[in-house]
Amino acid sequence: MSVTIYHFPKSAPSRNALLVARALGLDVDVHIVDLAKKEQLKPEFLQINPQHVVPTLVDGDFTLWESKAIAAYLVRTYAKDDSLYPKDPQKKALVDQRLQFDIGTLYPRIRAICFPVLYLGEIEIPDEFRAPVDEALGFLDVFLEGNDFVTGNTITIADYALAASVSSIAAVGWDISPYGNVSSWIAKCALAIPNYAEINQKGADEFGKAVRSKLAPGQI
Active site residues: 11
The DSSP annotation for 162-193 comes to HHHHHHHHHHHT---TT-HHHHHHHHHHHHHS
The DSSP annotation for 24-62 comes to TT-EEEEEE--GGGTGGGSHHHHHH-TT--S-EEEETTE
Distance separating alpha carbons of residues 130 and 95, to the nearest angstrom:
27
CA 98 to chain centre: 13
Distance separating alpha carbons of residues 12 and 1, to the nearest angstrom:
24
For residue 55, whether the previous peptide bond is cis, meaning omega lies within 30 degrees of 0, is: yes
Sorted by sequence, the CB contacts under 8 Å of residue 199 that are 6+ apart come out as: 9, 15, 18, 19, 22
CA 69 to chain centre: 12
